A and B are shown apart, each in its own frame.
Chain A
């Protein structure tokens, strides 16, 4: 064993020395989240400020963890909360139960509930873990409201993932990719992703 072996042992180290650094100073620094990341929910509003939630309880019905509690009520005519007859009167999500599966987002007929990319919260009691409507509904700019126990940095609230539907309602393959996601903060349309059938056929081809 010569001196050279000792230097050869550092080969990988020297090779990587001038590469781009992958370690980030989390939590001071954060890496961008993947596009489909599932964080805590927000309840979106229309651009005129009305709530998108109509209290239909489809999210609660589809929730596999049974963590959502919704109750609808008659929309007050003089001061409507949402467009239409009914609005979400009570909306609660228990984050001790939520598994962030995004089924509620798929079920929502009005794109009212979407998941942001915020996930860092540390509760000190159980009631803080139950987000009520006042905590979930976005602010006037369409951004999530920061709770005292949540860790955010500047700009973390800009991405709310948006609404998506995997397949058409009838489950037909040709609808795949036609219906896109809504854009960030629940507004606009994001271009469709490649559907499962397209992926499948390209794999077959390869």
Chain B
């Protein structure tokens, strides 16, 4: 205990030892810090205390003599004397456990919790030797499925209120409750409502007995079989910390790790059960090349043949006629390898990690970045984002939690989202008019309130049916009217921010620097000469391909057919391009169109690092070996480079990271020891520590992650010879971005509805469809329209209708939904059987659809 805390703390005596603790701390936590573990079932540090299990009773003396009080309910006070080991405490601990075990079945050998069960462990440590109860135990029907993922065994339940409290307080899905009274009390769902929560897996992890078990892990292994490694979930870009557990070379379970800055121990079910996709039998295990005799067929081959085919496809293209799409699913090291490969070997700047469904890379990098904690503690959070509950579920949890405190959420969305009910104000806008709506909103009293406090703006694509320019213009408005605000980019793919940081975007080089000639001296010393002409982004590449100007397309874990919001463009591009080389883990729709397919490692099959949406870099753990002969992306890149008569100079993952540290100015000084020291990860760029003159550091706000993004300052510092930076050429300026002006919204077509297409958590993408437990959860393949609109069109809810745009006519089921605003139709972007991409024309600012009965 440092002197600092001692001076402001409260002095309490725990088991005869006097210690200083923070005022407001609970006795149970204070005792833990003093080295006295108090047994508990209901207490969970991330949820409110309820004191229902009575297991944590200890002797607390506040001057009126010792008495038994639940230590999870009592905050410390000055002079408090706590005894956790008195005779009375021992008797009560034994008594409570004996009572809990009256009805708890002793089926530990078949229980998934057996071996890691708090009830088992605490009974062994604190419990009675023998029970006096010889009566038959209470019996309930053995496990009942309360959702598609979770089983409930009520016999084992000790009524600690953890799962029900989690559902109510943390997830906001109060679908499980205590029912009945007295001896009949039990946890149950409502009769017709299963526990369909995106966060149901957390209840399994926090259940202190085996009452809640997860279907994907049911009877798969015992705790002592498992070996584990700490890693970071890359299902979305939130970057939840997890323990990856495997047995006999097979992934079996992910458990949330509690870190303060990101996930608080929680995970979404898609992340938690996503290991099934890694284990899938459909994984690509060998390379494939298109058959000479039958062009419709991909035939398995060896690496030598496939790499030779890939190299010749790339050799046939020049720098301007090759395009590299993808990389947002890779580790930083792999993304760096591809970025270097594209620039130095392919001599092209046509690289993009985003698939036309993201945001402008320069904008994301140049905006002052907020952290998740910043958002969760801000006075106001302005949501210009997609449905966070669907796309970044744990960020949703954090913001939902913040909204229960003093943080006000203000949403601007074309249709309600999962967070709408927790906002203090939710504003709608007609698709296409986001900038104008924001201008109006921030110009008024709401804007004044937001300007007076600390505001975080969450930015993303509220609808993939609208052009990204609309969001960029709106961000410009937010920047102009909220000059103090910081921004949290709500981009979805696992390591999309890391890929952008590694230079997988046109005009951007590793370390958030611009590839516009200004950084030439810097990059020359590291990479040699590279083209400085700005390349094309994904949409531009696809357009070039469609018009025959692109010879070879290299897809790195990208499925443009599913993800680019313009299916027609992708179809034309694939038809127009001579060769497609795909590096992927699954045979996605796009991979099936490729000429050469190179299989690669998936999550937990390779190490490295990943970057979350805050710019937090954390480590990935390697736990299992991939199927067949899969290789890491960076080895494929190195191998291809060698066949193209070049040498990437990359030899190992730590070696690549060392190179990233040297090449990427934003990642300078972020050493592997810093990364491995702390589960919390490292936020880059690190605050500048060079201290030649004190007045220089005053410019750097060490609290913001974008400490050195103001370009001019950095340049000046370097010119003055700041000691922090190693190399002779000065560190180039960070990328800059200027917001486009607001354009007039497109004219409203009175006969059409404007489409809002948003991704759902469980969709038709491989991460869901290849995970057997999750695949069935992807539903909602309908178009949602306000009932009044349906009434005026004379269409019945539930009927199948023709949906027509200039691009295509597709048949959809329509559902009346009062939450959808009038004039708008809402659908999932990529649900089984339907794809909004077929309807969308990327050149149009909005997507207008017409509904006709069939």
Contact = CB atoms under 8 A, between A and B. Distances in A.
Interface of A: 54-58, 60-61, 71-74, 84-86, 109-110, 170, 172
Given A170-B129, A170-B130, A172-B129, A56 B142 contact: no
A109 B114 CA distance: 13
Interface stretch (B218-226, B362-370, B605-613, B784-792): B218-226
B110 A85 contact: yes
A85 B109 contact: no
B107 interface: yes
A72 B129 contact: no
A86 B115 CA distance: 16
Contacts of B109: 54, 56, 58, 109-110
- Max count, chain A CB within 10 A of own CB: residue among B107, B110, B115, B222: B110
A81 B190 CA distance: 33
- Top 7 closest A-B pairs, CB basis? A56-B109, A86-B110, A72-B219, A57-B222, A170-B129, A109-B109, A61-B224
Given A61-B224, A85-B143, A56 B129 contact: no
30 contacts: A54-B109, A54-B110, A55-B110, A55-B219, A56-B109, A56-B110, A57-B221, A57-B222, A57-B224, A58-B109, A60-B225, A61-B115, A61-B222, A61-B224, A61-B225, A72-B110, A72-B219, A72-B220, A73-B219, A74-B218, A84-B107, A84-B110, A85-B110, A85-B143, A85-B219, A86-B110, A109-B109, A110-B109, A170-B130, A172-B129
Contacts of A57: 221-222, 224-225
B227 to A, nearest CB: 14
Nearest to B110: A86
Interface in B108-129: 109-110, 114-115, 129
Given A57-B221, A71-B220, A109-B109, 7 more contacts: A56-B110, A61-B115, A72-B110, A72-B220, A73-B219, A170-B130, A172-B129
Contacts of A85: 107, 110, 142-143, 219
Contact of A56 (B114, B130, B218): B114
Contacts of A73: 219
A167 to B, nearest CB: 13
Interface in B202-260: 218-222, 224-225
A74 B129 contact: no
A85 B224 CA distance: 20
Nearest to A108: B109
A61 B109 CA distance: 12
Contacts of B115: 61
A85 B107 CA distance: 10
Contacts of B220: 71-72
A186 to B, nearest CB: 17
A173 to B, nearest CB: 12
Interface in B672-705: none
Contacts of A60: 225
A85 B151 CA distance: 12
A139 to B, nearest CB: 25
Interface in B85-120: 107, 109-110, 114-115
A73 B225 CA distance: 15
A142 B143 CA distance: 32
Contacts of A109: 109
Nearest to B153: A85
A55 B219 CA distance: 9
A74 B218 CA distance: 8
Contacts of A110: 109
B222 to A, nearest CB: 5
A124 to B, nearest CB: 27
A18 B115 CA distance: 61
A12 B254 CA distance: 75
- Max count, chain A CB within 10 A of own CB: residue among B142, B218, B222, B224: B222
A170 B107 CA distance: 18
A118 B109 CA distance: 28
Interface in B748-791: none
A132 B222 CA distance: 20
A73 to B, nearest CB: 6
Nearest to A74: B219
Nearest to B107: A84
Contacts of A56: 109-110, 114, 222
Contacts of B225: 57, 60-61
A86 B221 CA distance: 12
A109 B107 CA distance: 10
A61 B222 CA distance: 9
A199 B218 CA distance: 46
A71 to B, nearest CB: 8
B108 to A, nearest CB: 8
A90 to B, nearest CB: 11
A74 B213 CA distance: 13
Contacts of B224: 57, 61
B630 to A, nearest CB: 25
- Max count, chain A CB within 10 A of own CB: residue among B143, B219, B221: B219
Contacts of A55: 110, 219
A57 B225 CA distance: 9
A56 B223 CA distance: 11
Contacts of B221: 57, 71
A133 B110 CA distance: 19
B765 to A, nearest CB: 29
Nearest to A56: B109
Contacts of A84: 107, 110
A109 B110 CA distance: 10
Interface string B399-417: 0000000000000000000
A61 B142 CA distance: 26
A72 to B, nearest CB: 4
Interface string B125-151: 000011000000000001100000000
Interface string B557-598: 000000000000000000000000000000000000000000
Contacts of A54: 109-110
B251 to A, nearest CB: 15
Contacts of B143: 85
A75 to B, nearest CB: 9
Contacts of A61: 115, 222, 224-225
A84 B218 CA distance: 14
Nearest to B222: A57
Nearest to A57: B222
Contacts of B114: 56
Contacts of B222: 56-57, 61
B194 to A, nearest CB: 19
Nearest to A171: B129
- Max count, chain B CB within 10 A of own CB: residue among A54, A55, A57, A61: A57
A54 B142 CA distance: 16
Contacts of A71: 220-221
Contacts of A170: 129-130
Nearest to B143: A85
Contacts of A172: 129
B553 to A, nearest CB: 44
Contacts of B110: 54-56, 72, 84-86
Contacts of B130: 170
A56 B225 CA distance: 11
Contacts of B218: 74
Contacts of B129: 170, 172
A56 B113 CA distance: 11
A77 to B, nearest CB: 10
A125 to B, nearest CB: 23
A73 B112 CA distance: 11
